[in-house]
Amino acid sequence: MRLRVIATVTVFLGTASFQQKVGTQQTARVADAIESRVAVGQASLYVRTIGQGQPLIVLHGGPDFDHGYLLPDLDRLKDRFRLIYYDQRGRGRSADGVRPEEVTLSSDIDDIDKVREHARLESTALLGHSWGTVLALEYALRYPNRVSHLVLMNPAPASTRDLTEFRKVYVQKLGPDMDRQRAIFATAAYKEGDPDTVYERYRLHFKPALSRPADYEKLMAAMKVGFIRQGKSGIVKARAVEDRLMSESWEIETYDLLPKLRIVRIPALIIGGEDDFFQPEVAGHIAQAMPSARLVSLAGCGHFAYLECPAEVRSALIDFFKK
């Protein structure tokens, strides 16, 4: 089995969803968040909006997870930003009625545009985390006039070459835990999406991803809740979606967004952690490729900057949008 190196996790801490008839825009208010749905083909996307101020469409990582792992920590920004979260097609609350083979990189990019239209934004700022940064860059390359700002938090590799380098470092960091992961991959329980088994695998996977044990344990506790909520069928479907997306990006030897980014003049903030899951060159290469990019590297911070270094992330975002 191939090494899965997608650097995000999931826990969905939201409330019950609701159905939306095609062509309508029903909404529901849950606490101080607003839930809605956006029709995409025969399915629909779950959208959760909270806060006020500068709009930010949030692109979660994975790509086999939903936006839940960002909560409640990223919500701390709601007093300064209007955060528009959504679950990408075939994942989380956007999974019903979706067949994995129907999800492509192109459909994911189109879905961002559907969310933008749903939010009634002529152009928008995008905040991507991990794999979400790849989606943000792909969208900006296709629709540069529809993006006002890019926030790339703990970016995933923008090229297969950088991913290959990451995999080498990753195996070295894990040491014997890599063999333990391989053993889990081979079990029937893991293949069937058993939540407890999947959780045990991710405890190993994310050991090198956070700087402080307390943050790691907080994230892992949230993950366990998320995997149980997702269930076997949801885990297996999202995993199949991930495989499809990988076949159109990182599994292509020549996949490389970096040369294309040289013509993208959208203001970009790139936030990395000095102890990030990905090697510093990943964020550095993206920053070097984009003419209007600013790179911020946070000390004592790993791959989940919004969780590990919330004050520093907040300061960087406020400063970026003042410009």
CA-CA distance, 70 to 312, in Å (whole number)?
16
- Where the chain has pLDDT below 50, the residues are 1-25
Q: What is the C-alpha to C-alpha distance for residues 228 and 247, in angstroms, rounded to an integer?
A: 27
Kindly list the distances between the CA atom of residue 20 and the CA atoms of 16, 69, 108, 195, 231, in Å, as whole numbers in the listed order. Answer: 13, 24, 20, 29, 23
The CATH code of the domain that includes 265 is 3.40.50.1820
pLDDT at site 13 = 30
Note the pTM of the prediction, 2 decimals.
0.89
Lay out the sheet containing 293-298: strands in order across. 27-30, 33-40, 43-51, 81-86, 54-59, 124-129, 147-153, 268-273, 293-298
The single residue listed with the structure tokens 């079990």 is 187
Question: What's the pLDDT at 11?
Answer: 29
Q: Which amino acid, residue 216? A: Y
The answer to whether residue 113 is domain-embedded is yes
Residue 306 lies in a domain: yes
| 21 part of a folded domain | no
What's the pLDDT at 28?
A: 64
The answer to whether position 157 is within a domain reads: yes
Residue 241 lies in a domain: yes
What Rg do the C-alpha atoms of the chain give, in angstroms? Answer: 18
Let me know if residue 8 belongs to a domain.
no
Contact criterion met (CB below 8 Å) for 51 and 119: no
Q: What pLDDT is stored for residue 250 in this prediction?
A: 96
Burial class from Cβ neighbours inside 10 Å (0-12, 13-18, 19+) for residue 79 reads exposed
Q: Is residue 112 part of a domain?
A: yes
- Give the residue numbers spanning the domain of 65: 27-322
Identify whether 229 is part of a domain. Answer: yes
Overall number of domains in the chain: 1
Spatial contact of 61 and 8, defined as CB atoms under 8 Å apart: yes
Query: In the structure encoding, which two tokens stand for residue 311, read together?
Result: 């004050």
